[in-house]
């Protein structure tokens, strides 16, 4: 049993809870997820089953999309409405023109510091665990890319936004930065992840639907990795690739990692080196390769 699942995580469940439920529904042990969602958040949770679990590191490179509520007039220690209130202030919402202009200023590459109440690991421990134990947390900033931010609607004390962004982006941090640029206190209300690469919320299934469909819910791994470059090797080199042997190629111009196919069959992941001119297997998905 190998493939991906596009699950819809409800608020109140942890990503770990979702994996435990999926493991019971399918009766398999080897299962994992990409892109942790906080318990209070909801939305798309990509899950890998069997050999597909070896591909999770590549899935985590995919861009993501979110819908989030921005609450005005309050700041919390966690950056969202589940935290302790640190301050209150003016809760009136700026005009739409001001909001759109400020949101546009947040697009592009930027330095972002993840919130202390996050799943970022520091010396092997989750940041939120360190915070709960009373330890001081210093999280290094990271480069992220905000591709687009759109104003969905404006309410009396809040707005709803859609965000397309790179991996590693924290919407809570983005919302705090938005407030700083507007000169207002802001925190995040609800958060809904609407997309992870090829996994969309329109096609996500609940745990109840997974239990009903079972193995038929699995998606072929290669269909969910369109954010990666693809390369087709000759049929005569298929066995060699599946046995871990490099293949010399002349028609690749860019170094990097590729999804490797042969006659339409997905073999696994290979890395091309311009120096050696070879495509070397990195992950071989044997079930798909027929090796």
Question: Closest by alpha carbon to 120, among 102, 104, 144?
Answer: 144
Which domains are delineated in the chain?
Answer: 3-62+198-223 (3.30.2350.10), 64-196 (3.30.2350.10), 228-289 (2.30.130.10)
Angle between helix axes 96-105 and 171-182 (nearest 10 degrees) is 120
pLDDT tens for residues 20-78? 999 999 999 999 999 889 888 999 999 999 999 999 999 988 999 999 999 999 999 88
**Quick one: which H or E segment has residue 47?**
strand 42-49
Using an 8 Å Cβ cutoff, are 10 and 45 in contact? no
pLDDT tens for residues 77-111? 889 998 899 999 999 999 999 999 999 999 999 99
Residues identified as active-site: 38
User: Does pLDDT of 112 surpass 90?
Assistant: no
Cα separation, 68 vs 11, whole angstroms: 13
Question: Closest by alpha carbon to 228, among 256, 187, 263?
Answer: 256
What pLDDT, on a 0 to 100 scale, did the predictor assign at position 142? 80
What pLDDT, on a 0 to 100 scale, did the predictor assign at position 253? 84
Phi then psi for 204, rounded to 5 degrees? -70, 145
* 157 Cβ contact partners less than 8 Å away, ≥ 6 residues apart: 71, 72, 73, 91, 92, 93
What's the gap between Cα 255 and its chain centre? 24
Sign of the Cα torsion 255, 226, 10, 169 reads: positive
């Amino acid at each position: 049993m190998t493939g991906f699942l596009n699950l819809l995580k409800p608020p109140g469940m942890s990503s770990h809870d979702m994996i435990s439920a999926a493991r019971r529904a399918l009766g398999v042990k080897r299962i994992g997820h990409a892109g942790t969602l906080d318990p209070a958040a909801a939305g798309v949770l990509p899950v890998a089953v069997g050999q597909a679990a070896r591909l999770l590191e590549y899935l985590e490179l995919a861009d993501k999309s979110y819908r989030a509520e921005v609450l005005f007039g309050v700041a919390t220690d966690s950056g969202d409405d589940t935290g302790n209130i640190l301050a209150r202030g003016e809760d009136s919402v700026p005009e739409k023109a001001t909001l759109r202009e400020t949101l546009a200023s947040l697009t592009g590459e930027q330095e972002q510091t993840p919130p202390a109440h996050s799943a970022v690991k520091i010396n092997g421990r989750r940041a939120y665990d360190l915070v709960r134990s009373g330890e001081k947390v210093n999280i290094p900033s990271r480069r992220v890319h905000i591709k687009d931010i759109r104003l969905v609607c404006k309410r009396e004390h809040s707005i709803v936004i859609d965000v397309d962004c790179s991996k590693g982006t924290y919407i809570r941090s983005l919302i705090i930065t938005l407030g700083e640029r507007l000169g207002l206190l802001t925190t995040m209300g609800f958060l809904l992840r609407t997309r992870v690469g090829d996994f969309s919320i329109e096609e996500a299934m609940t745990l109840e639907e997974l239990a009903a469909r079972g193995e038929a819910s699995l998606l072929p791994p290669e269909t969910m990795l369109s954010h990666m470059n693809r390369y087709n090797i000759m049929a005569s080199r298929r066995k060699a690739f599946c046995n871990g042997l490099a293949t010399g190629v002349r028609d690749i111009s860019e170094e990097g990692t590729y999804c490797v196919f042969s006659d339409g069959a997905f073999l696994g992941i290979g890395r091309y080196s311009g120096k050696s001119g070879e495509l070397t297997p990195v992950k071989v998905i044997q079930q798909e390769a027929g090796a």
